[in-house]
Amino acid sequence: MTLQLRKLTPAQKQHFETEGYLIVKGLFSEQELAEIDDTFEAISLQTIPGHFEPDLLTEGQMDPLKRYPRVMHPHRFNETAKKYMLHEPVMEVLADLYGEEALAAQSMFYYKPPGSRGQALHQDNFYLRVEPGNCIAAWTAIDAADEENGGLLVVPKTNHMEIVCPDVADSRESFTTHYVKPPKDEKAFPAIMARGDVLFFNGNLIHGSYRNKSKDRFRRAFICHYANASAAQISHYYRPLYRQNGDPVDLASNPDGGPCGEEVKTAYPH
C-alpha cells in the first residue's frame, strides 16, 4: 500500500494498524536523495570510531560487510544525517501514525554491497524497549530494493505479537545473532521499493532480509527509529532523543531486561 501525500487516509492508517507496515512514496526529493548519496559516499572513505569502522585496506572479498559495515547513529556526528532523521515529511507521517508527536531515537545507514549477508528476522522493540507505546521504523530505500539485492522482508500482522526472546540466527546468512521465528502459517514476503520510498513499520513487526544476491547492485538504506512523545522510557543506547526542531529529549532509561530476563547484549536491531 502506497501514499502520495503526507496526510494518511483512514484506510492507510488502518493498513498500518492491521498489517503493521505502510510504504509511503514522495517523502524525499531527488535533490535530497543526492545529498544523502554524497554524504554517505564521503563517510564510506573514512573511519569514525564507534560509528563506522571499515576495513579500508581490502575490498572485503570474503565478507563485503568488512569493507562496508553499517553506519551507527550518524546523526551524532553528521549534520546532514541529523537533518534527514528529522525530515519534516517523515515526521509528519509518524505523527499521523502515532496520533502525537514523534521523537527521533536512532539513525543508521546500510550500504549492503553485492554478496553481503542479510539480517535474520527480528523485532525492533526488543532492543529499543519503548514504554509505554512502541517504536516505529522509517526505512528509506536509497537504492531500489527487491528480492535480488536483499530488500527488506516483512511478516504481516505480527505487529500484534508480543515481543519474544529470540533464538540464535544462522551466521552464514545473517550478520546479526538473533532470530525470531514467525508464527505458524505466517510467512515473510519482500517489500519491493523504489529509490526514495519509505517503509514505516511497528516495533513488534517481525522483519529482516536475505543476502544481496546481485552481481553489481548495492542496497543502500537510511533507517531511523522513533518513539511516541508520551513514552516514559527507552533503552539507554538510544538517548537522547530529538524533537523535529532538533531539541533533545532525555527519556528515562528502561531497566527492564525484556522477555529474555536480562540486559540486552546486542543494542542495535538493524
Sequential DSSP letters for 14-34: HHHHHHSEEEE-SSS-HHHHH
Q: What are the pLDDT tens digits along the chain (270 aa)?
A: 444 446 799 999 999 999 999 999 989 999 999 999 999 999 999 999 999 999 988 765 689 999 999 999 999 999 999 999 999 999 999 999 999 999 999 999 999 999 999 999 999 999 999 999 999 999 999 999 999 999 999 999 999 999 999 999 999 999 999 999 999 988 999 999 999 999 999 999 999 999 999 999 999 999 999 999 999 999 999 999 999 999 999 999 998 888 997 654 544 554
* CATH of residue 248: 2.60.120.620
Q: What is the enclosing helix (H) or strand (E) of 223?
A: strand 221-228
User: Does 265 reside within a domain?
Assistant: no
Cα–Cα distances (Å) from 94 to 103, 123, 170, in that order, read: 9, 19, 33
Question: Does residue 167 lie in a domain region?
Answer: yes
Largest CA-CA distance found in the chain, in angstroms, rounded: 52
Q: Give CA–CA dist 266/263, Å, rounded.
A: 9
Task: Decide if 4 is inside a domain.
Answer: no
5 domain residue, yes or no: no
**How many structural domains comprise the chain?**
1
Determine the 3-state secondary structure of 258 from DSSP.
Answer: helix
Position 121 in a domain: yes
Backbone phi and psi for residue 141, each to the nearest 5 degrees, phi listed first: -80, 110
- pTM equals 0.94
In a domain, 83, yes or no: yes
What's the domain range around 191? 10-260
CA–CA separation, 26 vs 9, rounded Å?
15
Q: 82 is written with which cell numbers?
A: 541529523
In a domain, 2, yes or no: no
Q: Cell numbers 518513539 correspond to what residue?
A: 227
Cis peptide before 64 (omega within 30 of 0): no
d(CA 54, CA 64): 10
Instruction: Report if residue 267 sits inside a domain.
Output: no
Distances from the Cα of 200 to the Cα of 76, 89, 122, 127, angstroms: 22, 13, 15, 17
